[in-house]
Chain A
């Protein structure tokens, strides 16, 4: 994998390459010295809380913003100063940004119309794009007559009709309800595999980023904390911010960290890696505490433990036994939590 990616980076330029890019708005550093290589054909997510700089990065690629310093290269050529209409990237907007005065077909054909493609051909290609997102038969409707999910698909078809090499998606699923959202996640991933183009996906939803992406960049305060595969991001978070933002994690610091891991460095332990039943093995860490709260959540039970040293520890126990068991946990009960030493990941402290 590492060999392959280094080979690729030598032979073909990355789809998008940021080199020490900053974007400041007055005093605010929205993007602060960001460098990333997004590979051709990759499903790349930019994940972070609101105001972390991920959307500004996307707008820098689209050309709606210009960098204050640094260089942005799209497929090897410098993009700084290029207006959006001269860039070979297309965007799916958060609010879809469909033209309200045009019907669905004209919306989708717009990119071809402004390039001077003849009517017959652009309508044929628009209908093809609509078929791709399963909206054939809706061509003559106005955007106002569509549901949120349908508008989303029109926006997707409209962005894909120009056959861009890079597709930018700005929280496109944010306005959809949960079921539709999960369905669209699967469809987007399938579409990306089929078209083999680069998808750059901005989201604040870590589940979405983990389930769809080849790689994820985690943003915090205009900087990138970590760029990695979803699995590595979850299993080996590099910083306290990533450990707490991606999934749920217990980040232990100071004396308790030193007591449990032997090092003053903060570390992370995932709630589902902690056991409360059985006896600790020889390579396990153990710590005692009192159960404070028990929440039954269906597939798992979430427990909150107050350690004797005062810290809180979140624990998740899978309800993976088919037979119904009496709930063994009671608040106030004393428990011994234990986990394998290898499940702990030591972290770099993210400055607050």
Chain B
């Protein structure tokens, strides 16, 4: 009877009936476009790029030949290149840590103390900076941090020039002025990526029922113990998600390192220079592998720490 019904009617109706009876076919049709996009265009081009890391670049003729070699990957461990990797990595770690520390109280306030309109206001306030062009914001920061800029004026007003000079004199952190120091670059990175940290932490704290905090206090835990034993473990998936953003975005960035901070390449700017100015596509491809490996290592460490257990 049902077969008779299914085989009658317009072709469109018959197709509809067929899809209803075969939910897997329906799902497959739904997933083919994104799978094609993700598989062919995204993964395909990424693998193709990485494959080019094995090609040979002739320094003399400045040409690329498809002769396979491991020279490019080995070159990553040259002191000069390894320095770039270390510099980028330590910046990414510092930016992630600072973002987490800054984002947590904001996220806590948003999740615990705001409702309705005030919550909407905070969402917009957090996301508003993302509406402006990233390059414009970075240029704006170069002006803010420049000699005689707003930041310096503030420091002078607060009579903290001595402290600023002390910070700028620390090797590896400082530089001649804020806008040419590692500290300045760090400030800009934290400013730009902070929303990516606030929102996931806020989402994880939003799911934390208030009764858990009361239960903890009821069982005798002091506020610090409640934070360490209950709040933090349950917020860790949010912190991990946010830090994946801040960590990987810093690893891959090539604009901020060019505009703010001392001279010296970051991984991103190195890739940009290798494939653009120098035309050494194989070396650029080899450098591209570095953030991928670092993030894979980072994720496995985070997973080992149990960050995703509460998911």
Interface residues of chain A, those whose CB is within 8 Å of chain B, are 62-64, 83-85, 89-91, 93-95, 97-101, 110-111, 113-115, 158-159, 162
Q: List, in ascending order, chain A residues with CB within 8 A of B58's CB.
A: none
Q: Does B211 contact A (CB under 8 A)?
A: yes
| Interface pair B211/A115, CB less than 8 Å apart | no
| Interface pair B209/A95, CB less than 8 Å apart | yes
Identify which of B214, B217, B234 contacts A101 (C-beta below 8 A): B234
Identify which of A64, A83, A95, A114 contacts B219 (C-beta below 8 A): A114
| Interface pair B219/A93, CB less than 8 Å apart | no
| Interface pair A84/B214, CB less than 8 Å apart | yes
Which chain B residues numbered 178 to 218 have a C-beta less than 8 Å away from chain A?
209, 211-212, 214-218
| Interface pair B310/A84, CB less than 8 Å apart | no
A95 to B213, CA, bound (A): 13
A111 to B309, CA, bound (A): 22
Interface residues of chain B, those whose CB is within 8 Å of chain A, are 209, 211-212, 214-222, 225, 229-230, 233-234, 309-310
A90 to B234, CA, bound (A): 23
| Interface pair B209/A101, CB less than 8 Å apart | no
| Interface pair A84/B217, CB less than 8 Å apart | yes
Q: List, in ascending order, chain B residues with CB within 8 A of A93's CB.
A: 211, 214-215
* Interface of chain B: mostly helix, strand, loop or mixed: helix
| Interface pair A97/B220, CB less than 8 Å apart | no
A111 to B209, CA, bound (A): 19
A115 to B222, CA, bound (A): 9
| Interface pair B217/A158, CB less than 8 Å apart | no
A162 to B234, CA, bound (A): 24
Identify which of A83, A95, A113, A159 contacts B217 (C-beta below 8 A): A83
Identify which of B211, B221, B222, B229 contacts A97 (C-beta below 8 A): B211
Given known contacts A85-B219, A97-B209, what 16 new A-B pairs fall within 8 Å (CB)? Answer: A62-B214, A84-B214, A85-B220, A94-B211, A97-B211, A99-B216, A99-B230, A100-B234, A101-B309, A101-B310, A111-B220, A114-B219, A114-B222, A114-B225, A114-B229, A158-B215
A85 to B310, CA, bound (A): 25
Q: List, in ascending order, chain A residues with CB within 8 A of B310's CB.
A: 100-101
> Which residue of chain B has its CB nearest to the CB of A93?
B211
Q: List, in ascending order, chain A residues with CB within 8 A of B222's CB.
A: 85, 114
Q: How far is the CB of B5 from chain A (nearest CB, A)?
A: 41
Q: List, in ascending order, chain A residues with CB within 8 A of B211's CB.
A: 93-95, 97
Q: List 28 A-B contacts (CB under 8 A).
A: A63-B217, A64-B214, A64-B217, A84-B217, A85-B217, A85-B219, A85-B220, A85-B221, A90-B218, A90-B219, A93-B211, A94-B211, A95-B209, A97-B214, A98-B215, A99-B215, A99-B229, A100-B234, A101-B234, A110-B216, A110-B229, A114-B216, A114-B219, A114-B220, A114-B221, A114-B222, A114-B229, A159-B219
Q: List, in ascending order, chain A residues with CB within 8 A of B225's CB.
A: 114
Contacts A110-B229, A114-B229 hold; do A99 and B220 have CB atoms under 8 A apart? no
Contacts A95-B211, A114-B225 hold; do A101 and B218 have CB atoms under 8 A apart? no
Q: List, in ascending order, chain B residues with CB within 8 A of A97's CB.
A: 209, 211-212, 214-215
Q: List, in ascending order, chain B residues with CB within 8 A of A114's CB.
A: 216, 219-222, 225, 229
| Interface pair B219/A162, CB less than 8 Å apart | yes
Q: List, in ascending order, chain B residues with CB within 8 A of A90's CB.
A: 218-219
List the count of A-B residue pairs having beta carbons below 8 Å apart: 67
| Interface pair B234/A62, CB less than 8 Å apart | no
Q: How far is the CB of B157 from chain A (nearest CB, A)?
A: 41
For B215, B225, B229, B230, the residue with the greatest tally of chain A CB atoms inside 10 Å of its CB is B215
> Which residue of chain A has its CB nearest to the CB of B222?
A85
| Interface pair A84/B212, CB less than 8 Å apart | no
Q: How far is the CB of B132 from chain A (nearest CB, A)?
A: 38
| Interface pair A62/B218, CB less than 8 Å apart | yes
Q: How far is the CB of B305 from chain A (nearest CB, A)?
A: 13
The 9 closest A-B pairs by CB, nearest first: A111-B219, A97-B215, A97-B211, A114-B221, A84-B217, A101-B310, A91-B218, A114-B225, A85-B217
Q: How far is the CB of A193 from chain B (nearest CB, A)?
A: 24
Q: List, in ascending order, chain B residues with CB within 8 A of A158's CB.
A: 215, 219
Q: List, in ascending order, chain B residues with CB within 8 A of A110's CB.
A: 216, 219, 221, 229
Q: How far is the CB of A1 from chain B (nearest CB, A)?
A: 33
Q: How far is the CB of B211 from chain A (nearest CB, A)?
A: 4
A39 to B229, CA, bound (A): 35
A216 to B118, CA, bound (A): 42
A247 to B110, CA, bound (A): 45
Q: List, in ascending order, chain B residues with CB within 8 A of A162's CB.
A: 219-220
Q: How far is the CB of A9 from chain B (nearest CB, A)?
A: 27
> Which residue of chain A has its CB nearest to the CB of B233?
A101
A83 to B220, CA, bound (A): 10
Q: List, in ascending order, chain B residues with CB within 8 A of A100's CB.
A: 234, 310
Q: List, in ascending order, chain B residues with CB within 8 A of A113's CB.
A: 229
> Which residue of chain B has its CB nearest to the CB of A100?
B310
Q: List, in ascending order, chain B residues with CB within 8 A of A99's CB.
A: 212, 215-216, 229-230
A162 to B221, CA, bound (A): 12
For B219, B222, B230, the residue with the greatest tally of chain A CB atoms inside 10 Å of its CB is B219
A159 to B222, CA, bound (A): 16
Q: List, in ascending order, chain B residues with CB within 8 A of A85's CB.
A: 217-222
A159 to B211, CA, bound (A): 14
Q: List, in ascending order, chain A residues with CB within 8 A of B217's CB.
A: 63-64, 83-85
> Which residue of chain A has its CB nearest to the CB of B230?
A99
Q: List, in ascending order, chain A residues with CB within 8 A of B219's CB.
A: 85, 90, 110-111, 114, 158-159, 162
> Which residue of chain B has its CB nearest to the CB of A170?
B211
Q: List, in ascending order, chain A residues with CB within 8 A of B233's CB.
A: 101
A98 to B209, CA, bound (A): 10
> Which residue of chain A has its CB nearest to the CB of B234?
A101
